[in-house]
Structure 1
Amino acid sequence: MAGRDARPAQAARRARAVSAEPASPVHPELRAALLAAVDERAPRLDRDRVAACFDFADRAHGDQRRESGLPYVSHLVEVVRILMDLLEGRLDTTLACAALLHDVVEDTEVSLEEVERRFGREVASLVEGVTKLAGLHFDSREAEQAENFRKMLLSMSRDLRVIFIKLADRLHNMRTIEYLRPEKRRRIAEETRDIYAPLAHRLGMAGIKRELEDLALKVLEPDAYVELARRVAARREEREAFLAAVQGRLEEGLRAAGIRAEVKGRPKHFYSIFSKMRSGRDFETIYDLFGLRIVTHTRNDCYRALGVVHDLFTPVADRFKDYIATPKSNMYQSLHTTVLTESGEMVEVQIRTWDMHRTAETGIAAHYVYKQGGRLDEELDAKLGGFVAQTADWQRTTGDDEYMDFLRTALYQEEVFVYTPRRELKRLPKGSTPLDFAFLIHTEVGQRTVGARVNGELVPLRHELRNGDTVEIVTSPNAQPSEDWLQIVRTTTARSKIRHWLRQKRHDDSVALGREVLERELRRHRHTVDDGRLEEVARALGQPDVETLFARLGEGQLSLTQVVRKALPQKEGLAEGLLKGPLEALGLVRKPAGGVRIQGIDNVMLSFARCCQPVPGDRVVGIVTVGRGVSVHRMDCPNTFAGRVAPERRVAVEWDARVGETFPVRLVVWGTDRPSLLADIARAISTTSVNIRQVGMASEDRTVRGVFVVEVPHLAKLEEVTAAIRRVKGVTQVERRQRAFRPGGPGAR
C-alpha cells in the first residue's frame, strides 16, 4: 500500500481491461516466479486458483508502479512470499488469494462486490478487513485513527488471517521504505514502531517484530543506526571467535550427555541495543549483544541441557528464568540463563525445543491451523491471555476516543497505562505508583500529593498501578516531598524531581538559619551590616554571593567567627581574642569575674572550664590552676576526679550569676535525616527564647548528627531547650556533650 501513482483515467481503463479478461498477463515473469514458489514451498495450495487471483490483480493494477519503479504487483508477490516464511506449510489458498488481491479495492476501480463474485465471500472479507486500513496517520484526529485500528482488530477477531496479511504487507513496505518522501517515510516508521511492532510482539511473532523495529530505527534514528552498525561490525570478528569457542565446548558437552541438540549464535538486533543504550547502559556492558541458543527435541532435554551448561560454566546469580514452566503472555517458552566464562565474559544462553523455537519466532502463526472462516481457536487465544477475543469486546464497550488507549494498553506489556479522572491515558513503567503518576501529570501536583484514589478507592502512595486503573491524586497546599518518597517512586523523572526539591529545601533552610545566626550575633555586638558590606564579606571568604554565604554558614561549612571577623570593623582586643581561639573570640569563655564566687575570698581570677561548660544550677567545684586562677567545673567532670586533681587544689565555689547573664552549652543532636530537620530544630530552640551561637550538621546513610552551641541563663532553661529539641520529628537523641579531658588534667600546663 505504498508508492502508488495511478490516475483515475488509468484506473478506469484497468477496470474495463479486467472485465474484458485479456488472454495474457501483464507481467508474465512475476506470475512464473509466484507459481514456482508455490510449487516448491506450498504445494498444498490450489495452484490454478492462485494463478487466477494473480491474473486478476495483475490486470487490475496494470502498469501501476511503486516508488521504486518496480511493477506494483511485485509487492503482492513479496507479501505472499513473506506469508510462506511465516506460516510454512499452513498457508491456505484463501489467505494466499486475499494477499494477492489485498490492494485492488483500495487502489483500482475494482469493487469489493466484484472480488466477492469472482473469488467468494471469504476472500472478499479478508480484502475488506485490510482495505479499510488505508490512510493511517498518527498525526491525524484520534477518532480517525481509532476507527482504522478498530476495524482492523475487529476483522482480526473474526478472522486471524487479516493480521497476517497486514503484518506481511507492512514488513515489505518497510523493506522498501527508502523510496518514499522523507515526511511519509517518517510517519510510516513511527506508526510501525509504535503499533505494528508491538502488535507483532503481542502475538508472539518475534521475527517480524525484530525486523520491523530495526527498519523503523534506520528511518527514525539514521545516525544512531549507522553508528551501531559500525560498532557491531568492529567487534563482530572478535565476538564470533569467542562464541565459537564457547559453542564448541557446549556441543561437546551435549554430545557427551547424549543430548541431540543444535547450538547456534543469537545476535542482538539493533533496536534492542539502541533501547538499552538509551536507558543508560553502555554499549560494552550489553553482555547479550551476542548470545547462544540451544535447540533440542524434547522438553526434558531442555532441562538436561541446562545442567550441561551450568556444569561447564559458572551461572550468574539471579539471571535464570524458566519460561517453559511459566510461558509469557505471547506464548513464548525458553530457559534463559547467563553464565560466566573463564575469561570473565558473560554469555546469555537460551534453551528451547524446535516447537518452542517456531513459536518464539512466529508466535500465533506457528499454532494457526485453518478452520472454516478462519476462526481463532479459543484454546489458542487463551494462551495469548484472551487478547484477540478482547478486541471484539472493545468494539462494544469503548468509544473512538478511548479505543487507542485500550489498544496501547494491550500491546505494551512492559508498561502500564492508566487514566486520569478525565480519561486521559498516561503511560508509566511497570511497577509505577500513584506518586509516579502525580509527577507525570505535573511537578507541582507531585510535590503537593498527600494521597491517591485508584478506581475510586483510597490507596497508599506505594500502591502498584495496573493497566486500566483510573488514578486521582489528592493534594494539599501544605504538603511537601520527603526522603521516604525516593523509596516509593519507580520512574527516574519522579525521583529526579524529588531529589531536586529536597536539595533546594535544604539550601533554603540553610540560608534562613545562616541569616538568623549571623543577625543575632551582630545584634549582640550592637552592629548592623548592609547588603553591600555582606557582598564584600562573601567575596572575601570565597563565596559567589550573600545567599551562598548564608547557606555555608547554616550548613556549618563556614564558622560564625570567620564571618563576624570579616563583617565587623577591627576593634582593639579582637585580634588578641582570635589568637586565643574561636571560643574565646565568641565569648564562650567567661570573663575573669562574675557568675560564681569563692566562699570568703575576693579578687581571685575565675574562668569557666571549656570541657564541661557549667551553668547555674549545676553542682560546681573550683580547681586552682597554674597562671589562670581558679577554673570552675561541674562536679561530674572527669577533669575533677580524684587521681587527676590533688585535694589541696580543690576549692568550694557557689553560683552568683547576675540577672540576664548567659552561659554557653554545647548540645549534640542525633536523628533520622529529612528535609527541614535543621530548620525545625533551630525553630524549636528559638521558641525557648534562647540564642544559638553556633551550629553544624552532617548526614551519612540517612543518619544525621548536629552540634548546637546555645546560651542559657541556668540549668532549668537548658532542660527546657533539650526537651523542645526532643519533640522535633526525626530527633532520636539529645546530649549535653562534654569534651574529652586532657591528659594531665586541668592546670597541667
Structure 2
Amino acid sequence: MMRQYELVERVIRYDPQADEDLLNRAYVYAMKAHGNQKRASGEAYFNHPLEVAAILTDMKLDSATIAAALLHDTVEDTEATAQEIADKFGFEIASLVDGLTKIAKLDMVTKEATQAENLRKLLLAMSRDVRVLLVKLADRLHNMRTLQFVKPEKRRRIAQETMEIYAPLAGRMGMQLVREEMEDLAFAVLNPEASKLIVERLARLHSESGGLLQEIENTLSKALGDHGIKAEVKGREKRAYSIFAKMERSNLSLDQLSDVFGFRVLVDTIDDCYRALGVVHQKWLIVPGRFKDYISSPKQNDYRSIHTIVIGPHSQRVEVQIRTHAMHEIAERGVAAHALYKDVREAKLAKEGVRIPASESSAYRWLRRLMETLQEGDSPKEFLEHTRLELFYDQIFCFTPKGKLIALPRGATPIDFAYALHTSIGDSCVGCKVNGRTVALVTKLQNGDEVVIIRSDAATPPPAWEAIVVTGKAKAAIRRATRADIRKQYAGIGRELVEKLLARQKKTFNEKEAAAAVPRLGHRNLDDALAAIGRGDLSAGDLLKALGLEVDDKDLRAVRRRATAKEDSAFSVPVRGAAANMALKIFNVTGAVPGERIVGIVTPGEGITIYPIFAAALEQFDQEPERWVDLAWGVAEEGRRFPARISITLANEVGALAQVTQVIGDHGGNIDELNLHARHGVRDFFDLVILLEVFDIRHLNEIMNELKAKPLVSDVNRVTE
C-alpha cells in the first residue's frame, strides 16, 4: 500500500503549489472511515481509493481531485455523511464526492430505464464538473485491473459494462490511454481466446520485427535531423482489442493490417508537423488514400495529428503519426491534459496547437449536445439509445457553404447534417445539394462534402426518417415531431367532438373557459385534454361537466357515432393531404405502411391510390404531375394492420418455409397472401413473395431483419414492382 508521504510527494512533483494539508487530511480521514473493510481480493479496502488517487496523479490532476478520489467511496460504503465531508473538506470536494456517490452503480443487467437514469446522472455530473468523470474513470480502471478476484458472472457483467459505456466515454473525452487499457482488460474477460491469440501473435511479430523497427526509427530520426527538424521519434504497437476490432470491422486477417506497428513523430510547432510530413513523403512512397490531416480538421474529442502510411524499408508498410508535444498530451489524456497547460502563456499554447480551454473543447461541446437531448424530454430508453449511438460512431467531416465544419457519424445523411445545424432546420428540410448536385436525402455523406439544405416552412419530418438517420439528435427530434403531429391530430378531433356537443346545446366553444376547467380533469393544458378526448381516453362530456354544463347521454352517443361514421367512410385509410370526399386505397402490388413516405395518384371516378415513394409504378405518372398528391400518414386506430409485400430468396431445404412463417408469427405479423416460385435454372433456391399485414414500418423492419438473420434465408427485400 502506498504511504501517505509517497502520495503527497507524487503530487508535489508536478504541482509544487499543491495543498499538502488537504491531501494529508483526506488520506487519514478515508483510511479511518474504511477501517477494517476488505475487498474481494482480501486486501484492505482503503487500498482501492488510494490506487484511484495514484492513477489520477499520473494525469497530473489538482489537489481537490486527488482528495475527492481518496474520499469517493466514504459516503456510500462507510458511516460518513455528505454533510460531514462538506464540513471537513469544503463545498468543492463535497460536490465531487456527492456526484460520484450518485452514479456509483451503473448496472447493465438492471432494467433499461434504470440503467438510462444512472447514465443521465453520470452525464449531468460530468457537465457540472469534468473532474467527476476523471475520478469515475480512474475508479473503473482500478476495478478492471483487479477484476480477477470477482466472481465469474459479475466479472463478465462489469467487463461488458466497461466495454459499452466507460471505455467509449473515455474515448469521447479524448482519454485514449484510459480507453485502450479498459478495452484490453474487458476484451480479455469477454473473449479470452481471441485476446490470448492476438497478444501471443503480437509478441512474436515484435520479436521478428525488432531489428526492422529500430532501423526505421533511426532512418526517420536522421532524415528529420538532416532537414533541421527537432523531433522525437517513438515506435508504437497497436493494442490487442484495437487490432481485433479492426479485423472484425474490415474483415481482415492480422497479416493484412498495415498499422500493427507504427511511429509517432513529436515536434515543437505546427509548422514543424507539416515540414516533417514533407520529409517523410520525400523519403518513402505514400500509400494512396491513407493520408489524414486531423490538425486541419480535429476529431470531435480534440484529437489533432497527421496520419500517413508509407512504403518503408524492405517494402514494409509503415504508419507515421506526426503531432506536437502538446497535441500528444491531448491525444493520450484528453480533457485531463488541459490542466497541464493552464498556467502556460497563450502564445505558447497556440504555437503548439492547443487553442481552447477544457470548458470549450469539442469534447465538452459533444457533452452539451447530449445534455440538450436529455433535456428535451426523451424517455429513458430513447436517451440510452441515443447516447450509445453518440458513443460509438466513427466520424466524417462535412461543410456548410460558408465553410463551417460539421462532424457527423460515418453513414450519416443530409438529414443528420440538417439536424446537426439546428432542430428547426432538420424539421423543415425538404431537399439538399451535395457538392453542387441535387441528391436524395437518403444519400450517405462522405468526408469533405459541402452540403446545402433546402427548407420549407410548411414541411414536417415524416416518421420514416427515423429509420434513415444515424445520429441520436436526429432520431430524437423526428420522434418528437411525430408525437407532436399525432397529438395535434388527436387534439383537432377532440375539439371537433366538444364543439359539436356544445352546438347541440346551442352553445359555442369558449377557449378561455375550457382552459380554466382543464385542471379539474387532471390535465396540464387544454391541448392535452382535447388530445385525450380525440384518443378516447377522456369523454367530451367530462369537459362539459367541468364547465358546469349538463350532458345528455343521447347527445354524446350521437356525436361519437357521427364522428366514427365519418372516420369509417371518408378516412378509412388514415392519411393527411387528401380531400375529405375522396376514396382512398393502397397500391396492392407493393403495399404501404405508416412510417414510410407515401404519395397519392388521382384516378378520376375512382379516387386516390396510395403508393410508397419507392414504387416503380410511379414512373408511369412522371408526365402527369397534376395527378400527384402529397400525402402523409395520419393517426391509425390502435392495433390496425397495413399491407406490405416482401420477397424472400429461400434455400431449397427442408424446414426453410417453416422458419419464415415462425418468424412472422413470433413477431405478431399476419400472412395475407403467399406465392412460391422456383428460380429458373436454379434448383438450390426459390423465391417466396408474401403480402404481410403489419402495424407500421418499425414492425415491418423488425420482421425483415429477423428473417435476414435466418441461415436458410439468402435475401429479403420489399417488392417494388
Would the TM-score normalized by the shorter structure come out above 0.5?
A: yes
Q: Is the 8 A contact 1:288 1:347 kept in 2?
A: yes
Helix, strand or coil: the match of 1:139? Answer: coil
Deviation at 1:469, TM superposition (A): 3.1
Deviation at 1:504, TM superposition (A): 5.5
Q: 1:459 to 1:192 in 2, by over 3 A?
A: closer
- 1:233 matched to 2:213: no
What's the TM-score, normalizing by structure 1? 0.54
Q: Equivalent residue for 1:456?
A: 461
Counterpart residue number, 1:350:
321
State the Cα distance separating 1:297 from its structure 2 match. 0.7
Q: Which amino acid aligns with 2:410?
A: K
Q: Sort the Cα spacing of 1:370 and 1:115 in 2 relative to 1 into closer, same or farther, 3 A.
A: farther
Q: Does 1:37 align with 2:166?
A: no
Deviations 1:176-213 (A, max 9, x none): 11111111111111111111111111111111111111
Unpaired runs of 5+ residues, structure 2, are: 343-355, 397-407, 415-439, 444-458, 479-594, 599-609, 617-645, 654-676, 690-719
The letter for the 1-side match of 2:262 is G
**2:454 is equivalent to residue 325 of structure 1:** no
Residue 189 of structure 1 corresponds to 159
**How has the CA–CA distance of structure 1 residues 457 and 395 changed in structure 2, closer, same or farther, with 3 Å as cutoff?**
closer
Counterpart amino acid of residue 294 in structure 2 = Y
Partner of 2:282: 311
Q: Deviations over 1:644-689 (max 9, x none)?
A: xxxxxxxxxxxxxxxxxxxxxxxxxxxxxx999xxxxxxxxxxxxx
CA offsets, 1:87-135, max 9 Å, x none? x2xx222111111100000101111111111111111110010011233
Which residue, 26, 29, 32 being the options, matches 1:56?
29
Quick one: which of 363, 388, 396 aligns to 1:408?
A: 388
Do 1:63 and 1:71's aligned partners in 2 also have CA atoms closer than 8 Å? yes
Shift of 1:150: 1.4
Query: Matched residue of 2:65: which SS?
Result: helix
Q: Is the 1:505–1:675 contact (alpha carbons within 8 Å) kept by the matching residues of 2?
A: no
Partner of 2:243: 273
Deviations 1:476-501 (A, max 9, x none): 9999999xxxxxxxxxxxxxxxxx96
Instruction: Please state whether the residue corresponding to 2:369 is helix, strand or coil.
Output: helix
Tell me the CA shift for residue 467 of structure 1.
4.0
Q: Give the Cα–Cα distance (whole angstroms) in 1 for the partners of residues 80 and 358 of structure 2.
A: 38
Indicate the SS of the match to 2:161: helix
CA distance in 2, matches of 1:341, 1:466: 39
The correspondence for 1:108, drawn from 66, 78, 82, is 78
275 and 64 in structure 1: CA distance in 2 versus 1, 3 angstrom threshold: same
* Corresponding letter in the other structure for 1:413: Y
- What is the percentage of aligned positions where both structures have the same residue? 40
Q: CA deviation at 1:247?
A: 1.2
Distance 1:394 1:467 in 2: 8
Q: Following the alignment from structure 2 to structure 1, what is the Cα–Cα distance between the partners of residues 682 and 62? A: 81
Paired residue for 1:389, among 368, 386, 390? 368
Partner of 1:145: 115
1:332-481 equivalences in 2 (<5 Å) = 332-368=303-339, 380-384=359-363, 386-398=365-377, 399-414=379-394, 430-431=410-411, 456-457=461-462, 465-470=470-475, 472-473=595-596
Give 1:179's match in structure 2, choosing from 132, 149, 162.
Answer: 149
1:277 counterpart letter in structure 2: M
Which residue of structure 2 aligns with residue 288 of structure 1?
Answer: 259
Structure 2 distance, partners of 1:452, 1:333, is: 31
* TM-aligned CA deviation for residue 235 of structure 1: 1.2
With over 3 angstroms needed to count, the CA separation of the structure-2 counterparts of 1:429 and 1:152, relative to structure 1, is closer
Paired residues of 1:177 and 1:185 also in contact (CA < 8 A): yes
Contact 2:386 2:471 in 1 (8 A): no
Distance 1:675 1:301, change over 3 A: farther
CA distance in 1, matches of 2:228, 2:413: 50
Residue equivalent to 2:491:
none
User: Larger Cα Rg: Structure 1 or Structure 2?
Assistant: 1
Q: How many residues were matched structurally?
A: 443
Task: Evaluate the alpha carbon distance shift between residue 311 and residue 506 of structure 1 in structure 2; reply closer, same or farther with a 3 A threshold.
Answer: farther
User: Distance between the aligned counterparts of 1:433 and 1:502, measured in 2?
Assistant: 28
Take 1:222 and 1:206, find their aligned partners in 2: how far apart are those partners? Answer: 22
In the TM superposition, residue 168 of structure 1 has moved relative to its aligned partner by: 0.8
Is residue 552 from structure 1 mapped to residue 552 from structure 2 by the alignment?
no
Q: For the residues of structure 2 that align with 1:225 and 1:184, how far apart are their CA atoms?
A: 20
Describe the SS at the equivalent of 2:3. helix
Deviations 1:365-389 (A, max 9, x none): 1113799xxxxx8774353361233
Which secondary structure does the structure 1 equivalent of 2:264 belong to?
Answer: strand
- In structure 1, the residue matched to 2:188 is 218
Deviations 1:153-181 (A, max 9, x none): 11111111101110111111111111111
- Structure 1 residues not aligned, in runs of 5+: 1-26, 372-376, 417-427, 435-449, 483-499, 508-546, 556-673, 677-728, 731-749
Residue 133 of structure 2 is aligned to residue 133 of structure 1: no
SS at match of 1:295: strand
Q: Distance in 2 between matches of 1:327 and 1:145?
A: 32
Q: Structure 1 residues 501 and 234, CA, compared in 2 at 3 Å: closer, same or farther?
A: farther
Q: CA deviation at 1:67?
A: 1.4
Q: TM-score, normalised by structure 2?
A: 0.56
Structure 2 counterpart of 1:101, one-letter code: L
Structure 1: how far apart are the matches of 2:276 and 2:4?
47
Distance 1:194 1:39, change over 3 A: same
3-state SS of the aligned residue for 1:263? strand
1:214, distance to aligned residue in structure 2 (A)? 0.6
Q: How far did residue 391 of structure 1 move?
A: 4.4
Tell me, what secondary structure is at the counterpart of 1:72?
A: coil
**Contact 1:239-1:290 within 8 A present in 2 as well:** no
Structure 2 Cα separation of the partners of residues 59 and 251 of structure 1: 53
Letter in 1 for 2:290: R
The structural deviation recorded for 1:272 is 0.8
C-alpha contact 1:157 1:391 (8 A) present in aligned 2: no
2:50 matches 1:77: yes
C-alpha separation in 2, matches of 1:455 and 1:223? 51
SS state at 2:321 partner: strand
From the superposition, tell whether residues 554 and 108 of structure 1 become closer, same or farther in structure 2 (CA, over 3 Å): closer
Contact 1:30 1:77 in 2 (8 A): no
Specify which of 92, 96, 101 is matched with residue 122 of structure 1: 92
Q: Greater shift after overlay, 393-402 or 120-129?
A: 393-402
- Describe the superposition over 1:682-733 as per-residue Cα deviations: whole angstroms up to 9, x where unpaired: xxxxxxxxxxxxxxxxxxxxxxxxxxxxxxxxxxxxxxxxxxxxxxx99xxx
Instruction: Give the aligned residue type for 1:126.
Output: L
CA distance in 2, matches of 1:156, 1:110: 23
- Structure 1 residues 57 and 285: CA distance shift in structure 2, 3 A: same
3-state SS in 1 of match to 2:681 = helix
- Structure 1 residues 32 and 397 mapped into 2: Cα distance closer, same or farther (>3 Å)? same
Q: Aligned to 1:302, which of 262, 273, 288?
A: 273
**Counterpart position of 1:244:** 214
CA distance in 1, matches of 2:35, 2:97: 19
Residues 322 and 336, structure 1, Cα contact 8 Å, conserved in 2: yes
Question: What secondary structure, in the 3-state scheme, does the structure 2 residue paired with 1:386 have?
Answer: helix
Structure 2 vs 1, CA of residues 362 and 321 (structure 1 numbering), >3 Å: closer, same or farther?
same
Deviation at 1:400, TM superposition (A): 2.7
